Amino acid sequence: MGLGYIGLPTAIIAAKHGVQIIGVDINPQVVEKTNQGQLHIVEPGMQELLQEVITNGQLKASTTPEVSDAYFIVVPTPFKGGNHEPDISYVEAATRSVIPYLKEGDLYVIESTSPVGTTDKMAKLIFELRPELQDKIYIAYCPERVLPGNVIYELVHNDRVIGGMNEVSTEKAITFYRHFVQGTLHRTNCKTAEMCKLTENSSRDVQIAFANELSLICDKADINVWELINLANKHPRVNILQPGCGVGGHCIAVDPYFITAEFPMESKLIATAREINNYKSFWCAEKIQNAMLRFELEHHHKPVVAMMGLAFKPDIDDLREAPAKYITTRVMQSCNNADILVVEPNIKEHKVFKLTDYKEAYEQADIVVFLVAHTPFKSLPYNNSKIILDFCGIYKK
Ligand code: SAJ
């Protein structure tokens, strides 16, 4: 259930390993494209695999479920409201749509990132509507852990945590994942498995916040934060991540809120990390605006500014929740007349931003702002005559 960034690759890989798959999505265009063997997401190597499993009939897409032996819920869990309350309505809708098909011996697994207690809630819903299935079906939670861009490898090789409602459910789910997972399958209960996913991404968010906080301190102290982190990491037990222009994407910048919304009194560090990482983007925008004002005062004309990168991390074309996109929008809104050149080498065009080639933008700009450490940017020679704001460590030395 759900043919997005995780559901579709999982369906393809399982199909490739001999499982007969019906991929269900509420979006008819996604279903149509998938059945034509066209990948609607960007993921290296996946297009060929999709073509193969569609051609040999192992995978078929549909807008409605069919009777199966196992059901996997792989739909988004966004948040709602100012308090970032998790919204599990898609998980619930997908669950409701499979309930009529469930039969004795079936397996039901949630993979969607979910607040603690979601699997229990969905089990309750299933048994309310189908009381005769009590103790006759297997229910588990098994989060995905793959890194976009490396999905084919990680879906097969990463370890997975599998938490059943009871031990037999865990075992049943393990038997399924064995079809294509070569990593170790770790047994637990569903609540721990739910919390484990949130913990993994919150841990990364907290670690990035530490690096971002250091970058703010170093800016004031006039210390090169990249050199500092590199040196600190020479300690055998220190491993600091890299600062950037904020934390983006649809996982790390979202999942910690699933903890803070439910446990606000206890999750002070996790909440502060979120604030620091959000603040870092705001701070970058302010820095750029200040540099532009200073330039105008000195030169009596507005600067040409190159905004280098829009994606949420290096070398991808995914702009979802991208801090670079937020910063670029904010800067553009604050200066109607200034020349802002927007650069994103990983996409051809964008419906809001007019894109400029990265070499051309670098050439023309008075102020160059590095927002994302895309590989091509690293070959641009450092030009002393320009004002360079390097928020992502293109020129680390
Ligand atoms: N970032 C930094 N500094 C760093 C590392 C990352 O600023 O040192 C920023 C990136 O630029 C980006 C954001 O963090 O804006 C997130 O990027 P990421 O590469 O850390 O993670 P995602 O969102 O692509 O994927 C994460 C992964 N989780 C962990 O590494 C714990 C992945 O394994 C998960 O499957 C995925 O979230 C998910 O779906 O939850």
Q: Supply the pLDDT for residue 250.
A: 87
**pLDDT exceeding 70 applies to what percent of the chain?**
99
Average pLDDT over residues 193-206: 98
Give distance in angstroms: CA of 96 to centre of ligand 1.
31
User: What is the tens place of the pLDDT at every residue in 78-90?
Assistant: 988 878 899 999 9
Q: Which atom of ligand 1 is nearest to the CA of 372?
A: 11
Average pLDDT over residues 234-259: 96
Considering the entire predicted model, what is its pTM?
0.94
Choose the weakest-confidence range: 112-121, 163-172, 327-336: 327-336
338 pLDDT above the threshold of 80: no
336 pLDDT above the threshold of 80: no
Does the active-site annotation cover 190?
Answer: no
Beta partners for residue 71, in sequence order: 108
Q: Provide the b/e sequence for 130-142 (b: ≥16 CB within 10 Å).
A: eeebeeebbbbbb
* Largest separation between any pair of C-alpha atoms in the chain: 79
User: What is the tens place of the pLDDT at every residue in 142-161?
Assistant: 999 999 889 999 999 999 99
143 lines ligand 1 (CB under 6 A): no
Q: What is the mean pLDDT of the chain?
A: 96
* List of domains in the chain: 7-189 (3.40.50.720), 223-390 (3.40.50.720)
Closest CA to 360 of 372, 368, 349, 371: 368
397 pLDDT above the threshold of 70: no
196 lines ligand 1 (CB under 6 A): no
317 pLDDT above the threshold of 90: no
> Measured on CA atoms in the order 224, 230, 235, 240, is the torsion positive or negative?
positive
Among 190, 245, 251, 392, the one annotated catalytic: 251
